[in-house]
């Protein structure tokens, strides 16, 4: 076992032992651990021993703790001074012991992720066997145009059905209604997953003329959903999906694009990140007040008002939905310190499995799921914001041991799958990467059920994709 892995294991075990002694890492130590884990993962990425997926998952996991460094110079003896920091003014956020445990939850979860990464790779990996040692097949089996158009039409159609029919300029945000009233909270995820398969199919098509047609079709479909059905409706669920598609094109599938590069163009990555953060900030700021916009002048006036109110500005680029996601860890940390947090002993995970059936199917069968939009871990948070960060359910069920072990397990699985899928690129493998990135914020900020749903949807679509590609003997011979 390498020294780094031993240190990670020792840190995780130390955190577990100290927690059961009612002793918590100082906030400064937890922040140092965040930095150390980030450094380790970046080094593994730079040496191509891990891929981009685990790095993006770590970023999403860690983002909610962006508020924590401000507590390094906060004065807990002066509650009024804490109001200017990110988590104030709730009482748990003004208690140094609770804040220290909150930061420790994130730190030990991060240690678990890094330990899982190290456990998922061999120390004797040769250079040619690392992630850049891709076996490139001569030919790919991809869909014919009629099947391809069916996939795209179905993907866009599902988004149309479940998206509000009114834009934020026609109805107040959250008051818009969809075409049908069906209990299918993962409808948007199904739509994006279908189109992710279509995107990857276009990327790997060997027939140039057909590939160009597919690329034009999928570009228009994605643009329509992101701009018309999402941003103009005040929703931002599609932004992580855009990141996932960009990752497929520029990283996971770059050897199969016409614009393949030996290295990632970080300037383009920076521009994409800036556009996504800016869109996230502006839509979040104006979506509840855009009903009064009638022309360009009133729109610019609204932007000016929101800027004067501090809702639009450079400092707000680092804040977003992820800032509210810290409320879950803060809630369970405070309840634990106060001795009022029940031990679940795995019950929540059993409930997750029992809640896998889609809401529409459960309603039709008269089955009441243990976890749905009206009940579940998110509803047990003292200061909940509609979700639970990835450390919350492990802590509720197994305390600090769960916070270390469960992220280690999923990190281990993700590393193994990414290494395997990158060695022989397929539509199924590329789609998995895009779908997991698309689902990552919902999974890591709002609850494990979104992660379960994403994997299940991917598996089902992989089966139907297999049925959608030609399988005649002649085509099979062509593919060899």
Cβ count within 10 A of residue 158: 21
- Alpha-carbon distance of 308 to 315, in angstroms, equals 13
Residues 305 and 351 in one domain: no
Residues 369 and 434 in one domain: yes
Residues 464 and 404 in one domain: no
Query: Per the domain annotation, does 140 fall within a domain?
Result: no
Element (H, E) at 1: none
Residues 309 and 203 in one domain: yes
Query: Per the domain annotation, does 138 fall within a domain?
Result: no
Query: Per the domain annotation, does 431 fall within a domain?
Result: yes
Query: Per the domain annotation, does 452 fall within a domain?
Result: no
| Of the ranges 126-140, 249-263, 400-414, the best mean pLDDT one | 400-414
What CA dihedral angle connects 465, 469, 471 and 472, to 10 degrees? Answer: 160
**Lowest-pLDDT range of 89-93, 104-108, 144-148, 394-398:** 89-93
Task: Name the residue range of residue 307's domain.
Answer: 145-319+459-479
Residues 176 and 299 in one domain: yes
Q: What is the pLDDT, as a whole number, of residue 41? A: 93
What is the total count of domains within the chain? 2
- Alpha-carbon distance of 121 to 420, in angstroms, equals 11
**Lowest-pLDDT range of 84-98, 162-176, 404-418:** 162-176
Residues 200 and 311 in one domain: yes
Q: What is the pLDDT, as a whole number, of residue 251? A: 85
pLDDT tier at 409, thresholds 50, 70, 90: very high
Residues 170 and 241 in one domain: yes
Residues 17 and 49 in one domain: yes
Q: What is the pLDDT, as a whole number, of residue 47? A: 85
Query: Per the domain annotation, does 388 fall within a domain?
Result: yes
Q: Mean pLDDT across the chain, nearest whole number? A: 80
**Lowest-pLDDT range of 251-260, 370-379, 401-410, 437-446:** 251-260
**What pLDDT, in 10s, does the model give residues 67-84?**
788 888 777 777 666 655
Query: Per the domain annotation, does 298 fall within a domain?
Result: yes
**What pLDDT, in 10s, does the model give residues 257-283?**
644 444 556 666 667 667 766 666 666
Burial of 442 (0-12, 13-18, 19+ CB in 10 A): buried
Residues 283 and 199 in one domain: yes
Please give the average per-residue pLDDT across 362-370, as a whole number: 74
- For residue 92, give the 3-state DSSP assignment: helix
Residues 180 and 304 in one domain: yes
Residues 72 and 100 in one domain: yes
Residues 125 and 188 in one domain: no
- For residues 430 and 204, the answer to whether their CB atoms sit within 8 Å is yes
Query: Per the domain annotation, does 30 fall within a domain?
Result: yes
Handedness of CA 86, 92, 94, 96 (dihedral sign): negative
Query: Per the domain annotation, does 275 fall within a domain?
Result: yes
Q: Which residue, among 444, 470, 475, has the nearest Cα to 147 in the 3D structure?
A: 470
Distance, CA of 183 to chain centre: 23
């Amino acid at each position: 076992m390498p020294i780094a892995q031993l240190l990670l294991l020792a840190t995780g075990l130390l955190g577990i032992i100290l927690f059961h002694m009612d002793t918590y890492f100082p906030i400064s130590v937890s922040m140092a651990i965040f930095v150390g884990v980030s450094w380790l993962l970046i080094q593994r990425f730079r040496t191509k021993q891990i891929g981009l997926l685990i790095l993006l998952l770590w970023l999403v996991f860690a983002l909610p703790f962006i508020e924590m460094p401000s507590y390094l110079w906060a004065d807990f003896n002066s509650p009024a001074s804490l109001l200017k920091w990110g988590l104030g003014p709730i009482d748990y956020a003004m208690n140094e012991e609770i804040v220290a445990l909150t930061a420790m939850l994130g730190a030990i979860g991060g240690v678990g992720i890094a330990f899982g990464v190290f456990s998922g790779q061999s120390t004797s990996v040769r250079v040619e066997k690392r992630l850049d040692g891709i076996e490139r097949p001569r030919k790919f089996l991809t869909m014919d145009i009629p099947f391809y158009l069916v996939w795209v039409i179905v993907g866009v159609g599902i988004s149309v059905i479940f998206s509000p029919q009114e834009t934020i300029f026609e109805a107040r945000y959250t008051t818009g209604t969809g075409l049908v009233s069906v209990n299918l909270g993962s409808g948007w995820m199904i739509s994006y997953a279908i189109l992710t398969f279509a995107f990857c199919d276009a990327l790997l098509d060997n027939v140039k003329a057909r590939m160009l047609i597919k690329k034009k079709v999928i570009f228009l479909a994605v643009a329509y959903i992101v701009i018309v059905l999402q941003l103009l409706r005040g929703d931002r669920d599609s932004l992580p999906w855009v990141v996932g598609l960009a990752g497929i094109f520029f990283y996971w599938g770059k050897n199969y694009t016409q614009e393949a590069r030996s290295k990632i163009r970080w300037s383009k990555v920076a521009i994409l990140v800036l556009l996504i953060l800016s869109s996230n900030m502006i839509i979040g700021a104006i979506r509840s007040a855009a009903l009064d916009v009638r022309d360009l002048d009133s729109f610019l006036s609204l932007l000016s008002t929101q800027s004067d109110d501090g809702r639009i500005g450079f400092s707000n680029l680092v804040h977003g939905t992820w800032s509210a996601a810290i409320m879950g860890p803060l809630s369970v940390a405070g309840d634990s310190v106060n001795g009022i947090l029940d031990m679940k002993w795995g019950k929540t995970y059993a409930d997750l499995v029992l809640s896998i059936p889609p809401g529409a199917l459960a309603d039709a069968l008269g089955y009441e799921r243990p976890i749905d939009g009206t009940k579940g871990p998110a509803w047990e948070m003292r200061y909940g914001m509609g979700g639970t960060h990835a450390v919350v359910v492990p802590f509720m069920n197994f305390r600090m041991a769960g916070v270390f072990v469960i992220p280690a397990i999923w990190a281990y699985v993700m590393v193994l799958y990414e290494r395997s899928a990158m060695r022989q690129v397929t539509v199924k493998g590329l789609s998995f990467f895009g779908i997991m990135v698309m689902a990552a914020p919902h999974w890591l900020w709002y609850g494990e059920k979104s992660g379960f749903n994403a994997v299940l949807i991917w598996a089902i679509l992989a089966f139907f994709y297999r049925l959608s590609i030609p399988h005649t003997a002649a085509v099979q011979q062509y593919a060899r």
